[in-house]
Amino acid sequence: MLDVPGGKVWYQITGGGAGAPLLVLHGGPGISSQYLKPLAALGDERPVVFFDQLGAGRSDRPADSTLWTTQHFVEEVAAVRRALGLSEVHLYGHSWGTILAVEYMKTHPAGVKSLVLASPALDIPAWKHDADSLLATMPDSTQQRVRRHETDGTFDAPEYQTAMMDYYHRYLARRQPWSPDIDSTMAAMNPAIYVTMQGPSEFTITGTLKDYDAKAFLPEIQVPTLFVVGQYDEALPSTVAGFARRVPGAEMKIVPGAGHLGMQDEPDAYCQVIRSFLDRVDAKK
């Protein structure tokens, strides 16, 4: 455990080697890093640093809701780097973690060698539009159940939860059955953070992030950047391609067969994409 503003967070460093460390920012907000465990395979070449953001997973869970802001989590990333002496890092963000990574980059931190923006959520109005388009591919009965309970606000209804699982099995994590890492991540979720920042559900986005849009900042990113996305991702590859075009010199890779949790669906192919990118960046010393 280490100290950050507001409490203590759990962390783990896996592996070692000569490569610059990879600092991993998980999604959510309000879940843990457990689902990202396949990234530990990169530890044969470099330290891989995982941590659970405050309020989530194995970290402290303060009752102070004023902590659930993007600014707080940016300060938390800086605190983790200071505490662990990570003077030079590659920065990986997944889903909400891409918002966190980009907002952290706005503070002009020293020593960030590269960015990996995985399944990015960098334009929340577009995310909502894309989610609606993916829902439209589901059976009519599933769509009707989702819409009815969204309208009624009955997000805890078993019928709604079943419909959401159908959606998740198609676009979140496609490999069945789900791994214990995904199950543990879901079980350790802190709904208070998710509702405050996202909203009550995947399709009803009413939280503080509802108008978030980082597109105007993307051309200012000056470090090597990789966008990685699953073929069947909630982050639509076409939307992600638009983000990649805005970042000077950015690369984009699509992982065949993968959903939003590409590191779980296709771990070998997913990690190889990231490994190749990091190795090339490190080789340009």
d(CA 132, CA 173): 18
| 76 neighbors 9 (Cβ within 8 angstroms) | yes
User: 143: which residues sit within 8 A by CB, 6+ positions away?
Assistant: 135, 136
Our answer to whether residue 72 is catalytic in this structure is no
Catalytic one among 130, 149, 260, 265? 260
Q: CA quadruple 26, 155, 123, 175: dihedral positive or negative?
A: positive
Provide the 3-class DSSP secondary structure of residue 228: strand
Catalytic position from the list 95, 119, 179, 201: 95
- Are 48 and 21 spatial neighbours (Cβ–Cβ below 8 Å)? yes
Residue type, 267: P
Residue 129 among the catalytic residues = no
233 annotated active-site: yes
The rounded distance, in Å, linking the Cα atoms of 50 and 14 is 8
Q: Is 229 exposed, middle or buried (0-12, 13-18, 19+ CB in 10 A)?
A: buried
- Rg of the Cα trace of the chain? 18
Q: Which of 123, 130, 181, 233 is catalytic?
A: 233
Give the DSSP H or E segment for 37.
none
SS3 236: coil
Closest CA to 47 of 17, 70, 88, 79: 17
The DSSP code for 155 is: T
Residue 234, φ and ψ in degrees, nearest 5: -60, -35
Q: Which position has the token pair 């590659």?
A: 90
Catalytic residues: 95, 233, 260
